[in-house]
Amino acid sequence: MLKEPSTESVPLRLAGYASVSANKRGKESLVSEIVIRARPAEIEIAMKKVLDSLRTLCMRRNGAIFSLLLISLAMPCQTKAEWVKNQKIDSMTDKEEKHAMIVNNEGHSFSIYRVGEGGKVWAQFRLASTSLDQLSVDQLPMYRVDKNEAQDLMELIRVTKLMKRLGTPMTFYTQKPKWINFQIWTGSESVCGPSGKKMAEVLDGSKLVIRYWLFTGGFKETEFDISSGRSVILDAIDSKGVKVCDYNS
């Protein structure tokens, strides 16, 4: 005759690292307490012992379901991504190169930099080095800052072709399988124009969404928290600010 399962609580102690109480009832087994008593370097070993013990207990009780509360001190806490200014000296020209960059939780990056002293300001979107994705060669990305109008980089192809027909060829973007660079601002603080508006949106924006098409077809989207980037960006491009047209006046 089968005996009624006991409801007695069974303490499991693992070499002083953790104390686990599990109910013997197979249908409602519950880890009610995990008390970490180890130094940081020992936590990973302790958690492994806890999981191994629970796995063994589960195997002994067919159909047991465990609801785990895992406290992993070995993994770093996620924090808000911050803009950083990177700078280096070109070994061939001895000129200082600076750019402001932010990396999101997927490992993709977005950067702002100026080409030459007083030159135009460019942006770069780069896929994470761990990503297997490659950018489409036929469809350029598009982006949107907050609720502003979305910017389709395909327009840069049309402008490039137009300038070439006019006899003044100019480069507005460069693209490789893992990244794209594109001009976002003329760089002139005294001239009011559409590119200044685009730059101002990035400087004062909170969220940047980039939609990028894949070499294999289809598209993906990724987001960046670009808030608090104004001072870092302006410092990286040696600018005091952007003059924005009031198109409503």
Domain ranges of the chain: 10-60, 84-236
- Mean pLDDT calculated for residue range 31-35: 39
For residue 94, name the pLDDT band (cuts at 50, 70, 90).
Answer: confident
Q: Is the pLDDT of residue 66 over 70?
A: no
Q: Is the pLDDT of residue 39 over 80?
A: no
For residue 79, name the pLDDT band (cuts at 50, 70, 90).
Answer: low
- Mean pLDDT calculated for residue range 41-53: 65
pTM of the predicted model as reported, rounded to 2 decimal places? 0.66
Tell me the three-class secondary structure of the chain, residue by residue: CCCCCCCCEEEEEECCCEEEEEECCHHHCEECCCCCCCCHHHHHHHHHHHHHHHHHHHHHCCCCCCECCCCCCCCCCCCCCCCEEEEEECCCCCCEEEEEEEECCCCCEEEEEECCCCCCEEEEEECCCCCCCCECCCCCCEEEECCCCCEECHHHHHHHHHHHHCCCCCCCEEEECCEEEEEEECCCCCCCCHHHHHHHHHHHCCEEEEEEEECCCCEEEEEEECCCCHHHHHHHCCCCCCCCCCCCC
User: Which pLDDT value is given to residue 49?
Assistant: 74
Architecture label for domain 84-236:
Sandwich (2.60)
